[in-house]
Chain A
């Protein structure tokens, strides 16, 4: 099992550690619910060093990124981050990712840990088509990069203590690179996967221990706590964010997944599968990914069946949990389009009972 630059901190804190995407990662330190509420109410810190980082550089970088991602790279400017996905050439999704523009010829792609190898192979294959040199124009920095996500309403206020750069006023989905608490050239990005605001900070592995220490110290007055992957999942689901492997995968299109807003059919964006997706958007997909709230007591789980009032199958749950904030079952799943309108009554088959739920907007809170 691989270790991140922070693994020994988790072990010392007594976290429950499990294998996740080949890495030994913390699932929880105290309890998932308490960690969840820490992030919603104040500030928590996640080790997300398992994420993958690819750099695309040089004169072909922009055209390459434009081709392999659905969002419009021309809408980026230096210091801007964009949520996007890699279409797979068969109408599905290779992965979802963040695209950072450092310069017109310099982009950082941040991908899911579970997909690093698959994404790298896919990017290499496509980069070669642009004549990019692997190792020079396309670089896999995943093993050298450590990352902490500091998330919650107090996160930026806490981090402001560590830098003279103004970070509390940074817009959502932007980044800066600067010296931070004596660490040179950190990437400070106002992104995250919790829906509670905050930032993600990227450093070289060699600076990771220092980063952990200064972040914990700066956050102490706000009650900062380390947060495991368990709460990372409940937080993202409560915010309605897709998880690759659950809600999106090689067989789902971004149009079905409600990711039309990152699929830009604009001039100059000839991404892979554009025609297929444009057609699907025009004809409207047969199924759509929707959030739903349980109206009867029960917890939806991945792969549970979704039914109409007559017991006919109309879809499948892709993610579900007990919302720690609402204390109600919440979930996402693909439903036939005619059942996708807000407030539509649906039923989740939980242990041989059909329990009532309704389609709702996300975030759930």
Chain B
């Protein structure tokens, strides 16, 4: 399982890459493995300002539909348009080409503190369901 050390993680199996005040968000390698073939991504919240924990989009695998949640509060400044035609990028490259959104954070200090570092996330994955 690929879990880059420089990322922050959530209990909903999302990752966050922080660059200044911009947070790039995607789903983890574990999440894409659990979902299986990703066949559809729907994100229609571009330019909206959402709070941490709110739904920003939906990810559909062959058999399942899952919501995706804002790991931090902020305005959605960019959506990965590539995923419209190539949702399988999430399976093949979850931390690269499979990114979902870029958020301009409105409460970076408070929100980022609550996210998991790689060690804590790994521990979460090793716990039985």
Contact = CB atoms under 8 A, between A and B. Distances in A.
B65 interface: yes
Contacts of B65: 299, 301
A125 B85 CA distance: 54
Interface in B4-63: 36-37, 39-40, 42, 58, 60, 62-63
A301 B64 CA distance: 9
A32 B60 contact: no
A313 to B, nearest CB: 21
B62 A230 contact: yes
Given A31-B36, A33-B39, A299-B40, A321 B58 contact: no
A27 B63 CA distance: 10
Contacts of A234: 62
A28 interface: yes
Nearest to B34: A16
Interface in A285-310: 297-299, 301
B58 A32 contact: no
B63 A230 contact: yes
A351 B58 contact: yes
Nearest to A229: B63
A233 B37 CA distance: 14
Nearest to B63: A230
Contacts of B39: 33, 299, 322
Interface string B82-112: 0010001001000000000000000000000
Query: Size band of the B side of the interface?
Result: 10 to 19
Contacts of A27: 36
Given A230-B63, A322-B62, A351-B58, A32 B40 contact: no
Contact of B40 (A16, A28, A230, A322): A322
Interface in B58-75: 58, 60, 62-63, 65
Of B37, B42, B58, B88, most A-chain CB atoms within 10 Å: B37
A28 to B, nearest CB: 6
A33 B63 CA distance: 11
Given A31-B91, A301-B65, A322 B36 contact: no
A33 B58 contact: no
Nearest to A321: B62
Contacts of A322: 39-40, 60, 62
